[in-house]
Structure 1
Amino acid sequence: MNKYDITENDFNPTVLFASKSKLVEDGYYHDHDYTEITVILSGTGKYYIEGKNYDVKAGDVIMCNPGVMHQSLEANEKEPIVEFVAGFTHFHFTGMPENSILLNDNEFVLRMPLEGRQEIMKRCYEMVAEYETSHLGKYFMLKAQLMQIILLILREMQPVKETQKSYRFESYNKNYVVKKIISYLNENYACKISLDQIAQNLYLSPVYISKLFKEETGESPINYLIKIRLNRAKELLEREEHGSIRSVASEVGYEDVYHFSKLFKKYYGISPLNYSKKFSRQKQ
């Protein structure tokens, strides 16, 4: 038996809005007559809720039920907060007040584990994208996505069985994320790639991805990308018909041939042009 009984009649929320925004200044202390979920997509900062300060970071869920006073405080200038916010009403779970979701220990901030964080962020981005369209059935798609977010939060608050070791899931997911990043880099090295693009593709924060990737591989995602590109460039330069150095640079994702040549020489101790000539002589 689950802690929270959910029935078809009680779980039919009305979606009021969904948005994504960057916090550039402090908010004001206020409340709502509806429930508001905030998910921190990236960055770090502080929130002031019902007289208490909360440090928040990417993946955290902030739950403000009707009448809960709250405001956003200073954000980290180096890591400004980007948040997803959704407002909704008309729902009721057994054991909770109407139109309210009570977090464990009467807290207002829920720190999600990696797996749940990815799932919720994915749906947040999907809701924002859907909210900005005029597609058929838009409202019902938004409702379906919001219901999934709510269910993921409720599941996270369920007690974990002793046979489930959370650290094993965490370790597995770290390995999974790194493999996904490497796969993404190998498939898209010829395109413009930034850490923000990689992060958005995986629904995680750029800072977290960079830290995790370095812990698992010993280098940053961008350095790993450089190695993929330069290794591919070497393969192209070893062909008899490889075109100009500029075309090789372009084929591995570099528009600036000078920058490409500088990187190539830094990694291999020889310029791309001289490498091509040297390899040609060796084959003769």
Structure 2
Amino acid sequence: MPAASSKNTNQHRTSDHYKFTDYNNTQPAQGELSLLFSGEGKPVAGHFIGPAVHNYYLVHTVLSGRGTFEIDGVRYSCAKGDTFIIFPDELFTYRADEKEPWHYMWVAFKGHISEHLLLTLGFSPSRPIVHTDDVRPLAALYRKIRGALESTPFPELADLEANGLLRIFLKELGLLNAGNLAFNSIAIVSDIDRQIKQAVRWLSYQYAQQISIEDLSRSLGYHRTHLSKMFKQVTGVSPMQFLLKVRMERAKELLNGQYHLSIDQVASSVGYTDALYFSKQFRKTFGYSPSEYRLHARNFK
């Protein structure tokens, strides 16, 4: 969903929505659980999102109408009272029905306890749906969250209130999913493992961008030195060494012949603005230049 500021809210009909409202948390806290944005939409028939991947959790609750949601290779038919959850780094698609397009509300969040919390509530990419016969309590919480983001002149206070409401909202989802709660059966992942898993995901999906340790640390909310030390302790390499490996492996894929990209284009695609520097890094990693690798790959097809 496109982010809007908490004061400049998009509340009108767009070309693909009869109704669209989105409130952004302008000061989301870093840490355990952080609400990012919340909104409401009534898309036109057949409107769809995806296939796509997010780096945050996104929950939708259907107020009326119908649609389909696909994640983890499984497609679900959703109607009034269904809540579906999009998980980070999972390919998803959702589409409004052609005859009875749905009307839904959504909330997005992230934070290092998010994965464990949803697992204990019985949700996962293979179990992403819960149903209620009375959608009004959830709808009321969505409205309170958006009201918190809209009403206060102090963004930090809005963040406190919205995150408190988010916890209540997730508790309500847990009550609806009571038969699948797993508080006693899910092993608690250590903070270090969780943090490094986040860092690995971030680097694996952001490799094409200009990245520094400062960017990574700021994105995940940890001190640069602390994160680097933990990363090497768990993976055996530094974050930048891991990033180099990701970039070089992706470069090999792009050079294997089917993409028909120039060396400059390959370099840019894996995060290098200087093709000469990219070529030096490639040779240092594999023992031959990008051009030599491309020729070798084509000869053995």
Taking structure 2 as the reference length, the TM-score comes to 0.41
Taking structure 1 as the reference length, the TM-score comes to 0.43
Q: Which has the larger radius of gyration?
A: 1
Q: Which has the higher contact order (CA 8 A, sep 6+)?
A: 1
